[in-house]
Amino acid sequence: MHICHFNSSSKTDIERCRALIEKAQAQGLPITVEAYPYGTGSTVLAAAFFSDPEFVERNGTGYDSVQRVTDGYRFHDREELLKAQAE
């Protein structure tokens, strides 16, 4: 098994995920991972994970970490982002 984007898919649980993978590898399971060298990526504003009510808890960052490319605007909260998604 190969896990892509290990750093972003693990989010704030990266240490726990790392330990699980190391344990599985020690048991002989063929698991590899890759991680890109930057902290975040880019995606569309309509991405479903942005509207997740647990976005802040799951990502360990606030909505101010979401920046719109067209004008550099950073969102303040979930409601503001949901409004922008609807527009």
Cα–Cα nearest to 50, from 69, 68, 66, 28: 66
The answer, yes or no, to whether residue 8 has pLDDT greater than 90, is: no
- In terms of Cβ atoms closer than 10 Å to its own Cβ (0-12, 13-18, 19+), residue 66 is buried
- What residues make up the domain containing 72? 42-87
Same domain, 29 and 61: no
Domain count, the chain: 2
Same domain, 18 and 36: yes
Each residue's pLDDT tens digit, 43-65: 788 888 888 999 898 878 889 98
Same domain, 87 and 48: yes
Model confidence at 31, in pLDDT bands (50, 70, 90)?
very high
Cα–Cα nearest to 52, from 83, 82, 80, 75: 82
Structure tokens at 35: 């991680």
Same domain, 47 and 82: yes
The answer to whether the pTM exceeds 0.95 is no
